[in-house]
Amino acid sequence: MTRDPAILIGIDVGTTSTRVVAFDLSGRTLAAATHGYAMATPRPDWAEQNPEDWWEATRQGLRDVAAAIDPARVAGLSFSGQMHGSVFLDREDRVIRPALLWCDGRTAAEGAEALRIVGRRRFLSTIKNPPLPSFTLPKLLWLRRHEPRHWRRLACVLLPKDYVRFRLTGRKAMDVADAAGTAMMEVGAARWAEPLLKRLAIDPALLPPLLPSTAQAGRLTAEAARATGLREGTPVVAGAGDQPAGAVGVGVFRQGQCMISLGTSGVIFAPTRRAVADPTLALATFDHAVPRVSYLMGCMLSAGGALQWHRNVSCGEEMAAARQGGFEAYDLMLVRASRVEPGAEGLFFLPYLMGERSPHNDPKARGAFVGLSIRHERPHLTRAVIEGVSFGLRDCLEAVRARGVGVTEVRATGGGARNPFWMQTLADVLGVRVRCVESPEGSALGAALMAGVGVGVYNSFNAAAEAAVRLGPMFRPSAGARRTYEALYAGFRALYPALRPHFHRA
């Protein structure tokens, strides 16, 4: 009698919703559920959530999925999660106050103070990143300064997905890949930076034990089993933050590979064998979910978001035609843009509509069309937007290369990766092969694959990727377009320094 094949569950605790997906060992989706929740902004630059909302969304998502599968076949489950957010618990494991999220900007003063006390050189040599407002350390310092009543109750700080995992298992822990984004762990060494924390008068006992991403962090308790519909004792694997989990989900593990995620923002993720701080602060340096691998990450704040803005502002005709024809306006916009020659007849677009993080790290940067003439029509503008975002990603790639990390293959994911014209443009601008990934469940699939490696149904990350990651078409740089874009890239790079004084005056 043959045993029924195993099922793996990936849980992605995101900023607006939690998605729970059950996969078979070939990466095929068997069942999925998504439950959303609100983000509170009680003051400008504040962003908070109630951790109970994450738990309730996960609990309900697991119940939905468990009803559609055989829970006895679930070999394990694991997590992807929004990074950096802070869950403050007291000695009875009660949540003290709403969690401060990654996008909360209230802690700039605390981060600057930590950098001054510790020293920039020591911070970068130990943590590999400065204590940015999005990271967890400044949130702790903010709590101590502004809410001393809550600080006195504090017994433990967890990251969002780690709190949900605690509710499932009753055990507190944090995986190394997510802890790397707290600004409290020695990146590349997998240990809390205790001397640095003591310098800031933070007790390391507030932090939970560190685990590898594929370590079994516990098993489903009887109470959690009743709440979710899964079986008591189901193994729960530690997991990782959303970016390394997403990289696992597209099979990007080794130096030389690179993941580009084209959603509202644009993320470039490049594994490296050695944790290398970027003194220019163009890139973040964190630990991967894969053992003994770190990664460099750059983030453009407006990628697909820039195209969405252009559609909403300029492309009413395409939107009307799409509504009438039952297709996406983006498809028509990009078909028309593809008929324009590379370079859009001298038109450049700077994609800094929300400021920029990588590589300029300038919140006052702004978007611009440069070189407009009476010859330019909407398809020229669309092509310029696609090229401008691609040039911005090239900026991030050059920052990776400047750190001594070569890239020979890009795997692309996200909404923008579904369009062949954009993928060919990206290959031509970057000068490397771009391979699309077919699975739309990148982070949740990555979580499931970590569960599979953790419980032994795959014997390695490579085996997991070979079994479950389905690759789409490959786009190779075209020699003619490549030469054109090399010349145009030099012009693009000259624009931000020239316009920066105006951006800051404005």
For the annotated catalytic residues, the residue numbers are 242
- Give the whole-angstrom CA distance, residue 328 versus residue 2: 46
Residue for token pair 């900007």: 105
- Residue 412, amino acid: A
Among 250, 247, 290, smallest CA distance to 270 is for: 247
Structural contact between residues 349 and 429, judged by C-beta atoms closer than 8 angstroms? no
- Give the whole-angstrom CA distance, residue 233 versus residue 77: 11
Structural contact between residues 233 and 219, judged by C-beta atoms closer than 8 angstroms? yes
**Exposed, middle or buried by CB within 10 Å (0-12, 13-18, 19+), for 234?**
buried
Q: Three-state SS for 331?
A: helix
Residue for token pair 């991403």: 213
Give just the sign of the alpha carbon dihedral 375, 380, 384, 385. Answer: positive
Q: Three-state SS for 319?
A: helix
Q: 409-413 and 368-370: which strand pairing?
A: unpaired
- Give the whole-angstrom CA distance, residue 425 versus residue 431: 10
- Give the whole-angstrom CA distance, residue 59 versus residue 490: 51
- Give the whole-angstrom CA distance, residue 98 versus residue 104: 12
Q: CB under 8 Å to 285, separation ≥6 — which residues? A: 128, 129, 187, 275, 276, 277, 278, 294, 295, 296, 297
- Give the whole-angstrom CA distance, residue 388 versus residue 260: 15
Give just the sign of the alpha carbon dihedral 218, 222, 223, 228. Answer: positive
Among 478, 384, 485, smallest CA distance to 429 is for: 485
